[in-house]
Chains A and B, each alone.
Chain A
Amino acid sequence: MDIKHIIAQRVAKELKDGDVVNLGIGLPTLVPEFLDDGIDIIFQSENGFIGIGGKPAEGEENLDIVNAGGQPATIAVGGAFFDSTMSFAIIRGGHVDATILGALQVDQHGNLANWMIPGKLVPGMGGAMDLVVGAKKVIVAMEHMNKGKFKILKDCTLPLTAQNQVNLIVTEMGVIEVTKDGLVLTEINPEFSVEDVQNATDAPLLVSEHLKNMM
């Protein structure tokens, strides 16, 4: 299994039957592939519906139904469309159980930076700032390092998406909980040692006394 699928598979275990979940673009969209049978998740799309399904079959695309990336999408039986104020009442109002998104940087305080690199990349924050502030659980799903550079830092250096909001970080190396005492490594990929994970992490890691295998 490649890195992205290892991460998506582990993230899927965080979701409970009946959860309302918003998925960011990229890696998080792989998570539904790994849901166990009997786990029914209600996916929310910030452009205005719950019950977003996968891509439509070729030739079945409807320009009036798109996902938050503007790509053709489908809606599940029993789903519902609504406007943007309702969508963000759901998001900001704490009615989303979990949001799963990627990061440029995340730090030991649970700060997240994932919306811009000054002078290089300024796409705009879209709905990310609202999602991270409003969702009950914020799960960062990402590769542990960026081409040899730390992504899990003592303090983020890029402009923040939100302060103190990240709950869990899942990478190909392990699972890290953000606690008031700092970052706690709770699960590890057996291909790596604790020392490997710490060497790939700028912030100091506490190691859970119940450290488990993430695979």
Chain B
Amino acid sequence: MKDKVIAIDELSNIVKDSMTIMVSGFMGCGSPHKIIEKLVELDVKHLTLICNDTGLPQYGVGHMVANKQFDCIIASHIGLNREAVRQLNSNETKFELIPQGTIAERIRCCGAGLGGVLTPTGIGTVVAEGKDIIEVDGQQYLLEKPLKADVAIIGAGVVDKRGNVCYNGSTRNFGPVMATAADIVIVEAAQIVEIGEIKPENVVTPHIFVDYIIDGGR
């Protein structure tokens, strides 16, 4: 089987201009910080971002926001990043703000092969504008469609060389679901271990979802 562990410089062959990219993390916690730094250096442009939030101005995906690498940002919260708010107010970047649970489910239904998800969240709000409302047993739901990416970059804890992933603390957030919904999945491991060192019952993201592993060296 091919070696999934790659040097960080190889990102230039994988992440290209105009791609849609999912980035794990919640206000930067659980984001792949080294990969983000490298993508800032590579200066890939015109990306579409799918992420819970825009991080902080100098933490997490906020670095890429500050470097103006996104044409479109799909997120649930941007309020802790003044630069993102500025880009929204000046119409420099297109934003789609969607509820956090809805982002999670839209990604999940893509990865799970479903055509969409019905959620009560957003009924009677601006979130419902332009969306189909479907009634099930007298209750109204919004039809929310799948979200897919070309590449997902995910912050991980311990990863074995086959690509089995464990997450530390509250870093797990969007990592496991994003790993199911992108053509190419790259994990940044805080620690890389030999195959077999992670007990199978402790694996959170199974190796079949992971294409590349980058040493985050924490």
- The interface of chain A, by Cβ under 8 A from chain B, is 45-49, 62-66, 68-70, 73, 75, 81-85, 87-88, 91-92, 111, 121-130, 133-134, 159-164
Contacts and interface: CB of A to CB of B under 8 A. Distances in A.
A123 B173 contact: no
Nearest to B127: A129
A47 B29 contact: yes
30 contacts: A46-B100, A47-B27, A48-B26, A64-B157, A64-B169, A64-B171, A65-B170, A70-B56, A73-B170, A81-B170, A84-B103, A84-B104, A84-B177, A85-B104, A87-B101, A88-B100, A88-B101, A122-B78, A122-B79, A123-B85, A124-B77, A124-B79, A124-B97, A125-B76, A125-B98, A128-B99, A129-B122, A134-B121, A160-B126, A163-B125
A83 B29 CA distance: 13
B120 A66 contact: no
User: Closest 3 A-B residue pairs measured CB to CB?
Assistant: A123-B79, A70-B27, A163-B124
B101 A70 contact: no
Nearest to B99: A129
A126 to B, nearest CB: 4
B201 to A, nearest CB: 15
B176 A83 contact: yes
A185 B3 CA distance: 67
Contact of A82 (B29, B119, B120, B172): B172
Contacts of A75: 169-170
B119 A92 contact: yes
A46 B103 CA distance: 13
B52 A84 contact: yes
B105 interface: yes
B212 interface: no
A123 B77 contact: yes
User: Taking chain B's interface residues, is the majority helix, strand, or loop, or is none over half, making it mixed?
Assistant: mixed
B147 to A, nearest CB: 13
Nearest to A67: B170
B168 A64 contact: yes
Given A63-B29, A82-B172, A85-B108, A125 B77 contact: yes
Contacts of A130: 99-102, 121
B174 interface: yes
User: Taking chain A's interface residues, is the majority helix, strand, or loop, or is none over half, making it mixed?
Assistant: loop
Given A82-B172, A123-B79, A126-B76, A162 B124 contact: yes
Given A84-B173, A163-B124, 16 more contacts: A47-B170, A64-B30, A65-B29, A70-B26, A70-B56, A81-B170, A83-B176, A84-B104, A88-B104, A123-B85, A124-B97, A126-B100, A130-B100, A133-B120, A160-B124, A161-B125
Given A46-B100, A48-B26, A92 B121 contact: yes
A70 B80 CA distance: 9
Nearest to B52: A84
B170 A48 contact: yes
B99 to A, nearest CB: 4
A125 B104 CA distance: 14
B34 to A, nearest CB: 14
Contacts of B173: 47-48, 83-84, 87
Contact of A83 (B85, B103, B175): B175
A45 B167 CA distance: 17
B125 A160 contact: yes
A84 B80 contact: no
A126 B172 contact: no
A163 B127 CA distance: 12
Contacts of A84: 26, 52, 100-101, 103-104, 173-174, 177
